[in-house]
């Protein structure tokens, strides 16, 4: 069923809100203020509180609307539907405005705090690249003909692809070198390509041969988790506060996916930590959900002259890599623990039990109330919370501010997921 709808405001998950006969409808590929015709998702005759749908025609367009830079990820009515870029119809300035509005609204409605519109910074080079070519990791599935493909939303149809516009230029160079787009994979195979951004090269403008020379063997093509080409262990380089740190990460593991995200986030976190320590010569820090040590390594070496740290991460492979990265830099002041954060914090050694600053980068679901309370019980004076989901951050903000005696002192966001509704937010809570 189709209907005409006036779009009212931004919502979550890359959708906007309208009403049909008093019923809320969440609309994909819309923008506030627009008059659109939409196709309702089935079943649309159910008694749920809301419906969902997708734009099929724009009758009155927003100034922020643009033609999709990657049509295959656009609306189904325009031949798209593969997903992965749900803001592909929005201008780059419009995407920042969208994300700022969503974060600010969630902090108000769910976090119960009032704040100015949250600033959202874009990574260097993203404007020149048109919001494309930022992913250093991509995943696909081989279709019945063995070609890399993506599933069309709402169907079982596999759409073969011969490029990935969101992939970094370095990744695309490797994909061409390894003939990824030529296919030949076993149908149903999971294909993952990981290519750390080569530093010291102008990857925005360099030609393919220059990129491949800079990359060398520092990439991984995995098929069903097995290494097909490249290296099992990848090396990432991040410059933080004037120092360059090298990391070993697993080819099939987590790492910030935007080519510039590790640099942007780590430097911002270091700035906040330095501000809170205020020249203190010694400090105790916690790094929770610490992964392969993106924050652990610079914090342990640059936060204070005498820094002692507790690092907690649930993924054992990531922990082994973090330990390797610390040993390589001859850091022996970090107690690295593998395990569930909540359970691990029940058994903290006395010399690490009262941190000055806590840094946490939880998964999409957030830290949740139990961990927030453990942080508060530690007596931490400052908490730096890195969030990939504004809703989870807002829910935990309500706990931190409403129950535990902290206040929101600073909040800043980074658009490290251009063309998508996702955004990374860094919040500072202080006692």
Q: Which helix (H) or strand (E) holds 298?
A: helix 296-302
The token duo for 256 is 């910030």
Q: Quick one: which of 282, 284, 342 has its CA closest to 312? A: 342
Rounded to an integer, what distance in angstroms lies between the CA atom of residue 218 and that of residue 205? 20
Residue 184, CB-side half-sphere exposure with 13 Å CA sphere: 6
Q: Which residues of 235-259 are buried (b: 16+ CB within 10 A; e: fewer)?
A: ebbbebeeeebebbbbbbbbbbbbb
Nearest CA to 77 among 29, 137, 115? 29
Exposure on the CB side of residue 405, measured as CA atoms within 13 A = 10
Q: Both tokens of residue 293?
A: 């040590």
**Cβ distance 410 to 272 under 8 Å?**
yes
Angle at the Cα of 125 from the Cα atoms of 208 and 179, rounded to 5 degrees: 30
Residue whose C-alpha is closest to residue 106's, from 89, 118, 123: 118
CB 82 within 8 A of CB 72: yes
Question: Could you tell me the CA-to-CA distances from 227 to 137, 249, 257 in Å, in that order?
Answer: 15, 14, 19
**Residue positions annotated with a catalytic role:** 388
């Amino acid at each position: 069923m189709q209907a005409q709808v006036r779009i009212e405001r931004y919502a979550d998950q890359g959708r906007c809100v309208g009403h049909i006969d008093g019923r809320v409808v969440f609309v994909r590929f819309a923008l506030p203020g627009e008059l659109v015709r939409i196709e309702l998702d089935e079943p649309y005759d159910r008694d749920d509180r809301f419906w969902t749908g997708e734009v099929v025609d724009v009758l009155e367009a927003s100034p922020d609307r643009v033609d999709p830079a990657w049509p295959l990820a656009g609306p189904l009515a325009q031949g798209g539907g593969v997903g992965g870029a749900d803001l592909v119809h929005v201008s780059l300035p419009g995407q920042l405005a969208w994300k700022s509005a969503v974060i600010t609204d969630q902090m108000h409605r769910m976090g119960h705090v009032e704040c100015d519109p949250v600033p959202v910074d874009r990574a260097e080079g993203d404007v020149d690249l048109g919001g494309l070519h930022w992913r250093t990791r991509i995943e696909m599935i081989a279709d019945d003909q063995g070609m890399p493909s993506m599933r069309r939303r709402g169907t079982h149809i596999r759409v073969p692809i011969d490029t990935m516009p969101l992939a970094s230029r370095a990744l695309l160079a490797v994909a061409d070198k390894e003939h990824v787009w030529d296919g030949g994979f076993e149908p149903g195979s999971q294909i993952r390509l990981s290519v750390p951004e080569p530093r010291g090269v102008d990857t925005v403008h360099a030609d393919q041969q220059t990129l491949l020379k800079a990359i060398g063997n520092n990439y991984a093509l995995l098929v069903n988790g097995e290494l097909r080409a490249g290296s099992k262990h990848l090396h990432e380089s991040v410059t933080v506060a004037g120092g360059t740190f090298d990391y070993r990460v697993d080819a099939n593991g987590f790492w910030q996916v935007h080519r510039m995200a590790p640099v942007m986030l780590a430097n911002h976190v270091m700035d906040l930590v330095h501000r809170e320590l205020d020249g203190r010569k010694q400090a105790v820090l916690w790094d929770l959900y610490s992964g392969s040590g993106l924050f652990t390594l610079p914090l342990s070496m640059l936060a204070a002259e005498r820094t002692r740290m507790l690092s907690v991460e649930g993924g054992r492979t990531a922990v082994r890599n973090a330990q390797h990265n610390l040993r390589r830099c001859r850091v022996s002041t970090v107690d690295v623990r593998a395990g569930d954060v909540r359970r691990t914090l029940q058994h903290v050694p006395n010399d690490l039990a009262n941190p000055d600053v806590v840094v946490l980068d939880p998964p999409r679901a957030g830290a949740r109330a139990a961990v927030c309370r453990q942080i508060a019980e530690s007596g931490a004076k400052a908490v730096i919370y890195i969030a990939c989901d504004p809703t989870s951050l807002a829910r935990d903000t309500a706990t931190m501010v409403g129950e535990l005696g902290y206040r929101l002192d600073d909040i800043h966001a980074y658009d490290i997921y251009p063309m998508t509704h996702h955004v990374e937010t860094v919040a500072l809570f202080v006692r």
